[in-house]
Amino acid sequence: MRKRKKDGKGYMDVTKRAKVGTGKLHKYKRGELNKGGIINKYDRVKFNQQSAKYQMASKQAARAEALLQEEAGFIEADEGESTCEVTQYDIANAVDITSAQKFFELKLDKFGPYRVDYSRNGRFMLMGGAKGHVAAFDWQTKNLMCEINVMETVKDVKWLHQETMFAAAQKQWLYIYDNQGVELHCIDVMNNILKMEFLPYHFLLATSSSYGRLTYLDVSIGKRVSCINTNHGRLDVMCQNPSNAIIHLGHSGGTVTLWSPNSQKPLVKMLCHGVGTRAIAVDNSGNFMATAGIDRTLKIWDLRTYKALHSYKVSAGPGSLAFSQRGLLAAGMGNIVEVYRDITKSQITAPYMMHSLSSPVANVQYCPYEDVLGVGHAEGFSSLLIPGSGEPNFDALEANPYQSKKQRQQAEVNMLLEKIQPEMITLDSRDVGKVDVKTLQEQIAEREKIIYLKPEKIEFTPRKRMKGKSKTGNLLRRVEIVKGRQLREEVQSISKQKEKLAKMLQAENTDGAAEVKEEKPFNVFDRFKRKEQA
Amino acid sequence: MKIKVLSRNPDDYIRETKKDIHRVPRNYDPNLHPFETPREYTRAVNAVKLEKVFSKPFIGDLDGHKDVVECMCKHPTQLSHILSGAGDGEVKLWDLPRRKCVRSINAHDGFVRGICFNPSGEYFFTCGSDKVIKQWSMDGPGAGEEEEPMNTILSKNVFHSIDHHWQNNTFATCSDTVDVWDETRAEPVRSYQWGVDSIYTIKYNPIETHLLAGTADDRSIIMYDTRGSVPLRRVRMKLKSNAIAWNPMEAYMFTVASEDYNLYSFDARYLDKPTTIHQSHVAAVMDVDYSPTGKEFVSGSYDKTLRIFAVGSQFSREVYHTRRMQIVQCVRWSHDDRYLLSGSDEMNLRLWKARAAEKIGRMKPREKEAMRYNDKLKEKFAQHPQVKRIAKYRHVPKRIMAARKEHTTIRSSQKRKYVYVFWGIYRKQSRLIIGAPYVCYLARYSEICVDRLERSSLDVQIGALF
């Protein structure tokens, strides 16, 4: 197809596609393909075809960015001004009326402090007051779904996979309610729970208890999948890594431990602070972790290397931390909520935004797909506007804020079909697609096995033979012969293996050094050989 | 100071009327799609389970014969037609889409041994144990008229099989001799004989059209070039071969169905050992036919099952059986690569799908897309134990299970014995080569089926043909 150029001279090729920038392309790449070691021509062709396909897929995904409808929010400060001076009232006055309505306060001073949780599509909010007040509502339209008082202490509340059910950790047991506030289940195998995390792709509710127990409940089948005694005492600092479903627990000794339901021991144990850990948060990509200690330090960690990237002294020890979808970190300390931008990228000097409340902050939580930060505090709940925090373009097949009832039901079926088994929770979620290569540790163990190889004990009972041949003496002689032969064979094979290993080790040790020439014994015919040139 | 806060207009995301489809905005940012690999794996497991749920290969049966179905022949140009011949001398023409017999001919006294169409499909030949070859028109008789052959050739020998040349108007029959006939003549143009035994089946090569291959009663497979006056070469097997089929895509490859429960794929240029031994059947294999793609073939067996093998694979990828199906006498793979036909001892023809889980009929684009996606996932995770186990599992009747177990034991004991013998020899020579016994065993096993290779004076180089 040809189309005339704007200036009328010549044609432009409209079938030709616009180039995709490497930066954009990089975002959609799933690792690099390594061509090394393919000798077979057939395999090489196959490999090239495959890599061309991968490349095309990432290109097309990058191209599809042009179709995204929304742009992220922002604050641009004038010269000499700072964004952290902007108050919520300034923002609410500057933006349109629907956005301005997203900044609101709920004064509930009787039952606080409150814990809050947003549903996965960001449409619904759940709050649980420590003195028993539990409420669920559509926070944008302010439509109340239910409001109950459970007449017990409420430690934590969490939506399950959809806005139809939620879990509440009460004084003794865990309860599941539907969105009308009807108690569906009382789970008495999980008691004295302090914090909860829901892993939506695995349908697992992870809970940590005051007795140091980390328990996983599969909410799709209603079974306790795993119960781990962490031996770390009271567990009241907990968060999940959204990219690999690993649970992070913070402890009073300043350590942070990483858990999966498949291991009774922590996968990783990090010493993050010299004093107790107060709060943890992991960002959406799963690469960065923020931890706060009671000594007012806030640290950013790289979870790929487990090394600290930045360390800050803040005004008060943050009691709660949360990463937004676009990487803004919110920290609630005392009466103040601070929000940091680009904290994982570089050392920052000032917060992005600040807001002070009337009472101590209990819980901060970003609303997905909205520029909103929900803050639960002792005297109620505040919904704050944080421009640039939420992902502007949602994927309707993952989470859809505008879904109808039918769509929600359909999504639930799909989620259940795609439920990932808890066995697949590992530090790297791509493990299941990788080739199972022996680790260095396994290789070493295998070698050591050879070094300490010993001939096994030979057991041989001779067969009864014809009359006269099975005299005791004959039998013993036969046993001796067979045993001797087997032993010789075994010793030979062992010594061979050991020789091989020794050669291998030697080759490794010399590694690139000139080969040592083997001295051969002189043969009588060697005199006729041609002399080697120097 | 400039401030922008995310504010979506719901009208952009909600459908306008109830008759619209829902809007589904997508964002391919990998951060919004966590657990990509485990989710794909779960989908692959589901896909392979669903494949099992949907694999219902049996389409239907065609009944009407009054005796054992002996032979079948596909129409060369029409997918819907198939001919079958029975033990009582009756030949039936079937309309497959309607699953009805459209024509019955009492062609022979005694067995109908072979049927073949001419390349245009206008007429067909039948031969029987009554020593007669008959030519029939595809246009049936008018109302009230009787079935009359166009042509009848009488012979002195009992015919076992007939096959038509793929391009011109000659055909070949086999009895005590292999005869090549011109359609217009009553006497064979050529006759071939090698030894005294009778030839059971004969097949023209679809690409190198002068080449004929036949299997004989004396356990041999014989090659003929119809331009020459004597057979080219023959290879004698340990046991008799029941049927032979040429690969329609690779001119030099053919497969024989053997009495020793195996199928052997040969390269016609190197007949001293087969390229592959296909081992899944538990009784004599009666017939074999290639798919038109040349990538797979189907075999029918005395163990009352059909099996589908990929070319070059040792074991079958699929096994079909029903409770009522008895010994399978003949099998054919349809020209569109989608269906199989089997004729069996209990007088029925059966129609099967070539791919058990394939959906028949039109599919919506989304359905097609989903199928393709699932196929790709199955391919990607094919080596994972859970996926592999489900994909591999086939439910077979108890008797076959038991027989298979028995054969496995027999084979492993043979192998063990062979390895021991070899080990012993090597020990005496005090030359230990690790792995040598097993390699030798494999080499020997491929020779196990071949007894002797003989060449005639005319056999210059069969390879020169290809």
Round to whole Å and give the CA distance between B386 and A381.
49
B225 or A456, which is more confident: B225
Query: Looking at B107-204, which runs of residues are DSSP E strands?
Result: 112-117, 123-128, 132-137, 151-154, 161-164, 170-174, 178-182, 188-192, 199-204
The answer to whether residues B337 and B293 touch, using CB atoms and an 8 Å cutoff, is: yes
**Domain count within chain A:** 2
Question: Contact A95/B29, CB-based, under 8 Å?
Answer: no
Pairs of residues, one from chain A and one from chain B, whose beta carbons lie less than 8 Å apart: 143
Same domain, residue pair A419 and A470: no
Taking CA atoms, what residue in A is nearest to B28? Answer: A61
Distance of CA B235 to the CA centre of its chain: 22
Same domain, residue pair A186 and A213: yes
Q: How confident is the model at residue A191 (pLDDT cuts 50, 70, 90)?
A: very high
Evaluate if residue B432 carries a pLDDT over 50. no
A357 or B420, which is more confident: A357
Specify the pLDDT at position B430. 45
Q: Is residue A474 part of a domain?
A: yes
- Note the ipTM here: 0.82
List, for residues A482-512, the tens digit of each pLDDT value: 888 888 888 888 888 888 888 888 877 765 5
Same domain, residue pair A279 and A368: yes
- Within 8 A of A69 by CB-CB distance, chain B residues are 12, 25
**What's the start-to-end Cα distance of chain B, in Å?**
82
- Among A384, A405, A430, residue at a domain's last position: A430
CATH architecture for segment(s) B58-353 = 7 Propeller (2.130)
Same domain, residue pair A241 and A163: yes
Specify the pLDDT at position A248. 97
Round to whole Å and give the CA distance between A256 and A230.
12
Q: Is residue A266 part of a domain?
A: yes
Q: Which helix (H) or strand (E) holds A454?
A: none
Taking CA atoms, what residue in A is nearest to B27? Answer: A395
Same domain, residue pair A231 and A277: yes
Touching B: A residues 77-106, CB under 8 Å:
77-78, 81, 86, 90-91, 94-96, 98-99, 102
Whose CA is closest to B299, among B217, B243, B249?
B243
Using a CB–CB cutoff of 8 Å, tell me whether A428 touches chain B. no
Same domain, residue pair A446 and A418: no
Question: Contact B10/A418, CB-based, under 8 Å?
Answer: no
Same domain, residue pair A161 and A310: yes
Q: Is residue A70 part of a domain?
A: no
Q: Is residue A501 part of a domain?
A: no
Q: Is residue A7 part of a domain?
A: no
Where do we find the tokens 């020779």? B447
Same domain, residue pair A174 and A305: yes
Question: Residue A460 sits in which domain range?
Answer: 440-484
Q: Which residue among A64, A65, A72 places its CB closest to the CB of B6?
A: A72
Return the percentage of chain A with pLDDT > 90, whole number: 65
List, for residues B293-302, the tens digit of each pLDDT value: 999 999 999 9
B150: region left, alpha or beta (phi > 0 left; psi from -120 to 50 alpha): alpha
Q: Which residue among A61, A102, A285 places its CB closest to the CB of B31?
A: A285
Same domain, residue pair A322 and A396: yes
Q: Which residue among A64, A396, A433 places its CB closest to the CB of B28?
A: A64
Same domain, residue pair A185 and A311: yes
Q: Is residue A277 part of a domain?
A: yes
Touching B: A residues 356-395, CB under 8 Å:
369-371, 385, 387, 390-395
Taking CA atoms, what residue in A is nearest to B8? Answer: A70
- Within 8 A of A420 by CB-CB distance, chain B residues are 35, 38-39, 42
List, for residues A267-296, the tens digit of each pLDDT value: 999 999 999 999 999 999 999 999 999 999
Same domain, residue pair A377 and A463: no
- Within 8 A of A90 by CB-CB distance, chain B residues are 1, 3
B42 or A448, which is more confident: B42
- Within 8 A of A371 by CB-CB distance, chain B residues are 5-6
- Within 8 A of B14 by CB-CB distance, chain A residues are 402
Q: How confident is the model at residue B417 (pLDDT cuts 50, 70, 90)?
A: confident
Specify the pLDDT at position B410. 87
Cβ neighbours of residue B175 under 8 Å, at least 6 residues apart? Answer: B155, B157, B158, B159, B160, B198, B199
CATH code (residue A234) = 2.130.10.10
- Among A467, A484, A501, residue at a domain's last position: A484
Specify the pLDDT at position B420. 67
Question: Contact B26/A390, CB-based, under 8 Å?
Answer: no
Question: Contact B42/A28, CB-based, under 8 Å?
Answer: no
List, for residues A32-44, the tens digit of each pLDDT value: 777 777 888 998 8
Q: Which residue among A77, A201, A407 places its CB closest to the CB of B35?
A: A201
Same domain, residue pair A406 and A461: no
Specify the pLDDT at position B222. 92
Per-domain boundaries in chain B = 42-52+366-396, 58-353, 399-455
Specify the pLDDT at position A17. 72
